[in-house]
């Protein structure tokens, strides 16, 4: 019996992280992944400055790859996923609240999980629907399933945007993996020609540490590997590539 799964193709992709701003750089990194450290911010030159300045570091990374991947297309539904979201901004707001200081409405608005795709649609005047989700260690896989659901529902293409950042020092003792700054985007379509497959089954192994899931999947995609397995402590996720 075939395990449950989804198949899809990627017609365009874009990736960005500090020090990794080209396909060649990402391809080299994928062959020998190393920890990515926070550095310069992306320019997000495609977004009007008045809106761009609202975004923090995480948001700018996500917006950079979203613009690059869509390349002017409109009417494409978006699935935005981040395990932690802009938790740094949330901690700053909670600290201000604890100190009895007034909260910034703009900072509060940009701290919610769907703020980044919302800003993206406002800047582009695009009314296509967007979904924001977080699903722990399996955030990427659940986002892919969500995107494939939209494809099965009739969407010709779906933009998947994944991003995360290191956690604030406050949460370091609870970190389940080596969180690093990154963002990537896929323009997903129905499986045609070269396709990726994602299958899953129950798993008794503990969750994997090391690289975060988003970077493991990026390395799989960029390296051209035929398969990869990840376990989130509940399910085993089996990625494969076929032609």
Residue 60 pLDDT = 97
How much is the pTM? Answer: 0.93
Question: 212 and 175 in contact (C-beta within 8 Å)?
Answer: no
Q: What domains lie within the chain, and their CATH numbers?
A: 5-242 (3.40.47.10)
Residue 209 pLDDT = 67
Residue 124 pLDDT = 95
Residue 219 pLDDT = 96
Residue 193: pLDDT band (50, 70, 90) is: confident
For residue 68, give every residue at least 6 positions away whose Cβ sits within 8 Å of its Cβ, in sequence order, or none: 14, 16, 185
* Nearest in space to 93 (alpha carbons), one of 76, 71, 114, 110: 110
DSSP H or E segment with residue 14: strand 5-16
pLDDT (tens digit, 9 = 90+) per residue, 140-149? 999 999 999 9
């Amino acid at each position: 019996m075939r395990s449950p799964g989804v198949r899809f193709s990627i017609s365009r992709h874009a990736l960005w992280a500090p020090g990794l701003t080209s396909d060649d750089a990402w391809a080299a990194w994928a062959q020998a992944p190393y920890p990515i450290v926070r550095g310069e911010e992306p320019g997000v030159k495609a977004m009007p400055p008045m809106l761009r300045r609202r975004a923090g570091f995480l948001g700018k990374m996500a917006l950079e790859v979203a613009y690059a991947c869509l390349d002017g297309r409109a009417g494409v539904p978006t699935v935005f996923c981040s395990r932690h979201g802009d938790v740094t901004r949330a901690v700053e707001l909670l600290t201000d609240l604890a100190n009895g200081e007034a909260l910034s409405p703009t900072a509060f608005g940009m701290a919610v999980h769907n703020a980044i795709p919302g800003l993206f649609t406002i800047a582009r005047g695009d009314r296509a629907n967007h979904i924001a989700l977080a699903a722990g260690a399996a955030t990427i896989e659940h986002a892919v399933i969500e995107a494939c659901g939209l494809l099965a529902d009739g969407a010709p293409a779906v933009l998947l945007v994944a991003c995360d950042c290191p956690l604030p020092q406050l949460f370091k003792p609870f970190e389940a993996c080596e969180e690093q700054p990154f963002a990537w985007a896929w323009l997903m379509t129905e499986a045609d020609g070269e396709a990726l497959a994602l299958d899953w089954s129950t798993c008794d192994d503990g969750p994997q540490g090391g690289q975060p899931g988003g970077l493991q999947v990026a390395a799989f995609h960029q390296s051209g590997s035929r398969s990869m397995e990840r376990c989130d402590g509940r399910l085993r996720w089996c990625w494969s590539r076929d032609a």
